[in-house]
Amino acid sequence: MANRVDHEYDYLFKIVLIGDSGVGKSNILSRFTRNEFSMESKSNIGVEFATRTLQVDGKTVKAQIWDTSAYYRGAVGALLVYDITKGQTFDNVQRWLRELRDHADSNIVIMMAGNKSDLNHLRAVPDQDGLALAEKEGLSFLETSALEAFNIDKAFQTILTQIYHIMSKKALAAQEAATTTVLPGQGTTINVGDASGNTKKTGCCST
């Protein structure tokens, strides 16, 4: 997260896309940032990230989304994706979750997404199972379709809004803490001022 760097946005939030290979992370990224979808399913080699700017509670937030699991540092949000047609990708969600919680910031906002909802006729993971796991782990949950652009914007908007609210609360708490800390400091300054005043008086009287 960074405060305003230029006049284009108020906040910059880094989000990582994680999950098994082939669950549709690259298409989720391209659908959200460029409104594009590729039928060619190829695994990502190297690192790819893209950005998109959104409005959150009247503030301009720039989302920097990384389609990789190697760059957790600095991430304040994560979209953990599985494929509803492949049970193994859902079984691996908890492994990804452990890795994320081991390597990312403890306050990271995590949403779980069951992708490829357009392939409902091939479904291997009931949506109730996804919802139950998300509730158990304290995560937000949506089913998405990068192909049909279903719930893609909503997923990122939800993550960014949650992050923004957490940051706002932290900023408010920091301001309140700073105000509380300043008061005794001001008192000390006054005392020092009194002491120096007394010295002056002493100087004055001794003359």
Over residues 32-50, the mean pLDDT reads 78
How many Cα neighbours within 13 Å face the side chain of 176?
A: 6
> For residue range 3-36, what is the model confidence (pLDDT) as tens digits?
455 568 999 999 999 999 999 999 999 999 999 9
pLDDT at 40: 78
CA 29 to each of CA 44, 81, 98, 126, 182: distance values in angstroms, whole numbers, following the listed order: 12, 12, 23, 24, 45
Contact 27, 16 (CB under 8 A): no
Contact 130, 83 (CB under 8 A): no
Using alpha carbons, select from 153, 142, 89 the residue that is nearest to residue 113: 142
pLDDT at 190 over 80: no
Over residues 43-68, the mean pLDDT reads 86
pLDDT at 106 over 80: yes
Over residues 39-50, the mean pLDDT reads 69
- For the segment(s) 11-168, the CATH number from 2.30.30.230, 3.30.460.80, 3.40.50.300, 1.10.40.50 is 3.40.50.300
Q: What are the structural domain ranges in the chain?
A: 11-168
Q: Dig out the tokens for 69 from the structure.
A: 């699991």
- The pTM of the full predicted model, rounded to 2 decimals, is 0.80
Q: What percent of the chain has pLDDT over 70?
A: 79
Owner of token pair 């540092």: 73
Q: Tell me the C-alpha distance between 96 and 103, whole Å.
A: 11
| Mean pLDDT, rounded, of the chain | 85
pLDDT at 107 over 60: yes
Cα dihedral value 57, 105, 43, 28, nearest 10? -10
Q: Which residue has the higher pLDDT, 202 or 60?
A: 60
* Count of Cβ atoms closer than 10 Å to residue 203 Cβ: 9
pLDDT at 207 over 80: no
Q: Tell me the C-alpha distance between 37 and 147, whole Å.
A: 6
**Spacing of C-alpha 113 from chain mean position:** 15
Q: Which of 5-9, 26-30, 89-93, 161-165 has the lowest mean pLDDT?
A: 5-9
Contact 107, 164 (CB under 8 A): no
